[in-house]
Each structure stands twice: as structure tokens, then as C-alpha cells.
């Protein structure tokens, strides 16, 4: 892929053959100037081929290595390729591509180093619910994260994120959790001195078959994220 833009859209994907082409097409329609890379996390269903047909650059991991590893692979690729900004979105079709320019407006205006898209800010009457266990986790970690960084955070598990190059460089280091990077990363970034801002976005109900939020996995997620937050608070913060 020839670099055309100063911004790269990073899409981690695992078994998203039914959704990935639609996601890429949405980006092309709403922000055609942006470059797109799909990090295929060891999918077994043809996700990579569908992404290539959709016109995206594809990085294929040799086996399923986890969401955090896939995301950080995209970050490192963006750094090596010289991008100034990264917009991260999921490959399952939950995130509305029309919001991509909103992230860039905040980043290019230097109003934040990290921009988080929240489905709970100014939703124009749209009510996002999702599975009950996931809702419990979101509320819990929104309260904990807001308390720890002394700033209101409504959607710490959003996954729809914008980063400038400074934040991108920080999250490309070993400090980045390779399992479920969500609320713990927000706390980590705040403690390192990065400016964090939430903006309203539209998000749709989850239609993915490859998501980690199925069955009893949310219980494990709640346990693991609680432990990760505890360790993050205890660890001496590294400056950005």
C-alpha cells in the first residue's frame, strides 16, 4: 500500500469474513482519503482475502494471538510507515465510519492526544444496550476509570479510538497489554501525562461471530481487567 495520507485506520479482525468488506467500504465512502490496514489475527474463515478484495492493506498474524497483539501490530506498522495519526475501529461493523472525521478534527486541532468514541454521549435518542454481562462491565469500569483519572469517562470499552503520533509511540512499547486493552490503557495513558477526550459516536449492536464477548467470556474479561487496573495503579507510571 502506497502511503497517501497522514492518518491510518487500523482494524484488528478475527473471523470477520461476513463483516470486514462492509466495514472497509464504509470507510471508503465516509473518508476516502484515509489509508486502511486490517490486522488479521489468525482467522480461519477468509477474513484476509475479503479485506484484500475490499482494497485494504492486510497484515496476517501466523495464529490467533489476541486482540491486544493485533492492535499493537497495527500501531507499529503505522509508526514504521510514518503516519502521524491512527484511528482504530473494530472489524465487526459496530463502529459508524461517519464519525472518523470527528476524531481527526480533535487530533489535528491538538485538543487531545487520545480521543475515545463514546456510544453514550449525545446519542440522539439511540439507546445502545448489548449483552447484560457486558453492560455490567462497562458501567463498572466507567466508574472505576473516571475515579482513577479524575475525569468523566463514559465508554472505556469503546474500541473506537484516535491517537496522535506521541500516544502511538507510547503504546507501541512493552507497556501495552496484549490481552484486553481497554480501561487499563486509559489509566496508563493518563498517568503518563497524555490528554484524553471523549467524543460522541454512533455504535451498532454487535453482530460478530469472532468477538471475545460471547458466552461466559465477559466474566473472565471483568476479572482480568480488574486485575490489570490494580497492577496499573501500583506500577510506577512511565512518562510519554
pLDDT confidence of residue 139? 84
The structural domains of the chain, with segments of one domain joined by +, span 7-234
Which residue has better confidence, 234 or 123?
234
Q: Are 149 and 232 in contact (CB under 8 A)?
A: no
pTM: 0.86
pLDDT confidence of residue 212? 44
% of the chain residues with pLDDT over 70 = 80
pLDDT in tens, 89-142: 999 999 999 999 999 999 999 999 999 999 998 655 455 555 565 667 778 889
7-234: CATH, from 3.30.465.10, 3.50.4.10, 3.50.50.60, 3.90.550.10: 3.90.550.10
Backbone torsion region of residue 193, taken as left when φ is above 0, otherwise alpha when ψ lies between -120 and 50, otherwise beta: left
Which residue has better confidence, 234 or 174?
174
pLDDT confidence of residue 188? 92
Residue 43 has pLDDT above 70, yes or no: yes
pLDDT in tens, 6-39: 999 999 999 999 999 999 999 999 999 999 999 9
Instruction: Tell me, letter by letter, the H, E, C secondary structure of the chain.
Output: CCCCCCEEEEEEECCCCCCHHHHHHHHHHHCCCCEEEEEECCCCCCHHHHHHHCCCEEEECCCCCCHHHHHHHHHHHHHHCCCCEEEECCCCCCECHHHHHHHHHHHHCCCCCEEEEECCCCCCCCCCCCCHHHHHHHHHHHHHHHHHHCCCCCCCCCCCEEEEHHHHHHHCCCCCCCCCCCHHHHHHHHHCCCCEEEEECCECCCCCCCCCCCCCHHHHHHHHHHHHHHHHHHCCCCCC
Strand pairing category for 85-88 and 7-13: parallel
pLDDT in tens, 146-189: 999 999 999 998 999 999 999 999 999 988 887 777 889 999 99
pLDDT in tens, 49-89: 999 999 999 999 999 999 999 999 999 999 999 999 999 99
What is the residue-averaged pLDDT of the chain? 87
> 200 falls in which pLDDT band (50, 70, 90)?
very high
Residue 235 has pLDDT above 80, yes or no: no
pLDDT confidence of residue 213? 47
Amino acid at each position: 500500500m502506497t502511503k497517501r495520507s497522514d492518518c491510518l485506520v487500523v482494524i484488528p479482525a478475527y473471523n470477520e469474513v461476513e463483516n470486514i468488506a462492509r466495514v472497509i467500504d464504509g470507510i471508503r465512502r465516509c473518508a476516502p482519503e484515509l489509508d486502511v490496514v486490517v490486522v488479521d489475527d489468525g482467522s480461519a474463515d477468509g477474513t484476509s482475502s475479503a479485506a484484500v478484495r475490499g482494497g485494504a492493506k492486510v497484515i496476517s498474524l501466523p495464529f490467533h494471538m489476541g486482540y491486544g497483539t493485533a492492535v499493537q501490530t497495527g500501531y507499529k506498522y503505522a509508526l514504521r510507515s510514518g503516519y502521524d495519526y491512527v484511528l482504530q475501529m473494530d472489524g465487526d461493523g459496530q463502529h459508524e465510519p461517519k464519525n472518523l472525521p470527528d476524531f481527526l478534527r480533535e487530533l489535528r486541532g491538538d485538543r487531545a492526544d487520545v480521543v475515545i468514541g463514546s456510544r453514550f454521549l449525545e446519542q440522539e435518542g439511540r439507546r445502545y444496550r448489548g449483552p447484560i454481562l457486558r453492560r455490567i462491565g462497562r458501567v463498572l469500569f466507567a466508574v472505576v476509570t473516571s475515579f482513577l483519572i479524575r475525569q468523566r469517562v463514559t465508554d472505556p470499552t469503546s474500541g473506537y479510538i484516535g491517537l496522535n503520533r506521541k500516544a502511538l509511540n507510547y503504546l507501541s512499547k512493552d507497556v501495552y497489554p496484549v490481552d484486553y486493552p481497554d480501561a487499563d490503557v486509559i489509566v496508563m495513558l493518563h498517568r503518563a501525562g497524555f490528554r484524553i477526550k471523549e467524543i460522541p459516536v454512533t455504535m451498532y449492536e454487535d453482530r460478530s461471530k469472532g468477538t471475545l464477548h460471547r458466552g461466559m467470556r465477559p466474566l473472565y474479561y471483568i476479572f482480568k481487567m480488574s486485575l490489570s487496573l490494580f497492577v496499573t495503579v501500583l506500577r510506577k507510571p512511565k512518562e510519554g
